Amino acid sequence: MRKNATGTYRFVIILGAKVNGTRPSRALEHRIDVAAAYAKAHPHVELIATGGQGPDEGMAEALVIERELIAKGVDPARICIETTSTSTVENFEHTRPFWEGEAGVTIVTNDFHVPRARLIARLYFQLESDALYAPTPPLAKGRYIIREGLAYVKLLGRYVFNRT
């Protein structure tokens, strides 16, 4: 079920995505754009930029998110940074110190990824969530959908086997 963000939650987790050198990929750029617009519309929220640095990236994803949010006018005091995660589960694990004790969070990611990200928040962290659905670049949509299907298999397998 699609649950659009309305300013309910204090924390907004912006999930990292590919960085090309030190520039955001188109998918990450869309996430940053919707997060910046949301931050302007909801001045009470705090943003959490997530994502480490892959071997083919010139800068941690979270640092790119932070830099671009500031360039779009978001006050740096409203941005928390997590630069060690390499997966969606780790995005939540490694940002827990920021949102711990909260009933829910707003998740920012591309539209294809929102259902799995919200499932992870619920299954692994007992978090309610709503979301900002950043558009997916059309040329990459097929590749992302296939990758997302495989990620569901891995996620559910991990969940089942870790519970027994």
Among residues of the chain, what percentage have pLDDT more than 90?
Answer: 75
Say whether pLDDT at 124 is over 70: yes
Say whether pLDDT at 156 is over 60: yes
- CA-CA-CA-CA torsion for 135, 115, 90, 66, nearest 10 degrees? 30
Report residue 33's pLDDT band, with 50, 70 and 90 as the boundaries. Answer: very high
Q: Which two tokens stand for residue 95?
A: 């940002």
What CA–CA distance (Å, rounded) separates 14 from 16? 6
Report residue 133's pLDDT band, with 50, 70 and 90 as the boundaries. Answer: very high
Say whether pLDDT at 66 is over 70: yes
Q: What is the mean pLDDT of the chain?
A: 90
H/E stretch holding 72? none
pLDDT confidence of residue 136? 86
Residue with tokens 């040329």: 139
* CA distance readout (Å), 158 to 3, 144, 162, 163: 25, 21, 6, 9
DSSP secondary-structure letter at 144? Answer: H
- Kindly report the CATH class assigned to 11-163: alpha beta
- The answer to whether residues 3 and 129 touch, using CB atoms and an 8 Å cutoff, is yes
pLDDT confidence of residue 102? 97
Predicted TM-score (pTM) of this structure: 0.86
26: nearest Cα among 139, 143, 142 = 139
Say whether pLDDT at 116 is over 70: yes
pLDDT confidence of residue 140? 61
* CA distance readout (Å), 47 to 39, 83, 98: 8, 14, 10
Say whether pLDDT at 157 is over 70: no
pLDDT confidence of residue 2? 75
98: nearest Cα among 6, 9, 16 = 9
H/E stretch holding 107? strand 104-110
Say whether pLDDT at 126 is over 60: yes
What CA–CA distance (Å, rounded) separates 5 from 41? 11
